[in-house]
């Protein structure tokens, strides 16, 4: 996983399902593509918005970080 691209928070912010068609989220420094998830339709998942680092929001979620294993890592947040 050392050869994955690095993206800034600004680049991630545009992948919110609104400004661009991609729906990306970050968690613990990694960026995941959740575009195919029906739970992230239009870049929103309950009270969470795509294009952000959701690391600190997971504590309020009804699931564990294992949920990220379903999605492809597409980059590292710098």
pLDDT one-digit tens code per residue, 3-15? 899 999 999 999 9
Helices (H) and strands (E) in the chain, counts: 1, 6
CATH number 3.40.50.300 given to 6-77: no
How far apart CA 51 and CA 8 sit, in angstroms, is: 11
Question: What average pLDDT does the segment 61-70 reach?
Answer: 87
pLDDT of residue 65: 87
Q: How many CA atoms lie within 13 A of 73 on its CB side?
A: 15
pTM above 0.75, yes or no: yes
The pLDDT value recorded for residue 74 is 96
Closest C-alpha among 43, 35, 33, 34 to residue 74: 33
Q: Distance (Å, rounded) from C-alpha 24 to C-alpha 53? A: 9
In the chain, domain spans: 6-77
């Amino acid at each position: 996983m050392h050869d994955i691209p690095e993206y800034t928070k600004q680049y991630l912010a545009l992948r919110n399902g609104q400004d661009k068609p991609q729906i990306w989220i970050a968690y613990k420094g990694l960026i995941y593509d959740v575009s195919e998830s029906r739970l992230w339709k239009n870049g929103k998942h309950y009270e969470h918005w795509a294009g952000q680092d959701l690391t600190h929001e997971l504590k309020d979620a009804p699931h564990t970080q294992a949920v990220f294993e379903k999605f492809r890592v597409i980059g590292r947040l710098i």
